[in-house]
Amino acid sequence: MPADRRHPTMADVAERAGVSVSTVSRTLRGLSNVSPQVRIRVEEAARELAFSVSRQASSLVTGRTGVVAVLVPTLNSWFMGSALSSLGPLLRAADMELTVYVIPDLAERAAFFERLPARRNADALLVFSFDLTDEESARLDDLGMPVIYVSQHAEGRPSVYVDDVAGARRGTRHLLNLGHRRIAFMQTIGATGFAFSSHERLLGHQQALTEAGVPLDDSLVVAARVADGHGVAAALGELLSLREPPTAVFAEQDELAAALIATLRRARIAVPERMSVLGFDDQPVADWLDLTTVAQSPAEMGRLAGELALELIGEAGTDHRRHVVLPTHLIPRATTAAPPAPENTP
């Protein structure tokens, strides 16, 4: 490459500023053992030459990579998209880069924990929505970097999550307050990595029923795949064939609630006149369908997780067992109402 087209080097900056290469290195990495006058000369020379320090070179001196890694089960979800959309700009503003590891199946999961590619390639790791085994958690503990668990509670480790139990309890109480006593709970099948939230939401639902004196009935807990219309119809068929069918269904996420509403409409079952439907998330589809739901904010979760990661990277005294718990709130819309009046029997 001709000299006038090549990228400037640290030696070029040193020559223009009239200092040594080592002085340029110390100056551009923000070290304190450089006089103010020399620092000004070096910074001006670097600007004139459009020179910047590579992260690789900087990491040799600082011991940091300038990278935060994220481990996710999928990118094809509203939750992940919202969380990463707020995390990315936050890290860029802190001059950090984001590396995403997607492990959607068991084979890639085993390979990740065998190789641990984030080791030496990141300053912190954010783990989104994984139910990890004890062995996998121990492997992450040995990374030698902050590991923050997002959308899940990890005992003794930094975590950022919503209180799924309280959120589901709030949603079920709404249905109870409307007068429903036969309330079904529909879980998702195959939502890789999200089993933690599923378990917690079912627990909160059952707690609200118990508090209200409503006996738990396992026949009112069904499951279906979100994208499987036949599966949703089969799950609904299970509920409608019960001797005493439910008058409301709490779907553990909005996409499942949307599929359920479509199935009910095809079956000519009016929502909410004959069946109330409640979701969880407050995704855009909830607003489009006027769906009553329990709202959470993955964008806020991603932002707070990023801030916690930066604190743990930059401040040795930060509590490495800190938990940040976000609230949920009920959004009442048009898919929930009082149960239908019982039919008169002769």
Q: Judge whether 118 lies within some domain.
A: yes
Q: Which residue has the tokens 């103010």?
A: 36
Q: Judge whether 286 lies within some domain.
A: yes
> For residue 224, what pLDDT is reported?
93
The C-alpha atoms of residue 170 and residue 181 are separated, in whole angstroms, by: 15
The CATH number of the domain holding residue 32 is: 1.10.260.40
* Tokens at 73, concatenated: 């089960």
Q: Judge whether 340 lies within some domain.
A: no
The CATH number of the domain holding residue 245 is: 3.40.50.2300
Q: Judge whether 344 lies within some domain.
A: no
Beta bridge partners of 102: 72
158 and 76 inside one domain: yes
Q: How many domains in the chain?
A: 3
Domain ranges, residue 107? 67-162+298-327
229 touches 255 (CB < 8 A): no
User: CB neighbours of 109 closer than 8 A, spacing ≥ 6?
Assistant: 103
> Residue ranges of the alpha helices (H) in the chain?
10-17, 21-28, 36-49, 55-62, 78-93, 106-115, 134-141, 164-177, 195-211, 229-240, 254-266, 284-288, 298-314
The C-alpha atoms of residue 44 and residue 115 are separated, in whole angstroms, by: 43
235 and 127 inside one domain: no
264 and 177 inside one domain: yes
The C-alpha atoms of residue 120 and residue 144 are separated, in whole angstroms, by: 9
174 and 247 inside one domain: yes
The C-alpha atoms of residue 338 and residue 66 are separated, in whole angstroms, by: 55
pTM recorded for the entire structure: 0.80
Q: Judge whether 318 lies within some domain.
A: yes
214 and 104 inside one domain: no
In the chain (346 residues long), the average pLDDT of successive 10-residue segments reads 57 87 72 80 83 53 77 90 94 90 87 86 91 89 91 91 96 98 92 70 97 98 89 96 98 96 97 98 96 97 95 77 93 98 65
Q: Judge whether 346 lies within some domain.
A: no
The backbone torsions φ and ψ at residue 160, rounded to the nearest 5 degrees and listed phi first, read -130, 120
26 and 44 inside one domain: yes
Q: Could you tell me the strand order of the sheet in which 248-251 lies?
A: 221-224, 183-188, 248-251, 276-281, 292-295, 329-331
Which residue, 140, 139, 119, 79, is CA-closest to 326? 79
130 and 274 inside one domain: no
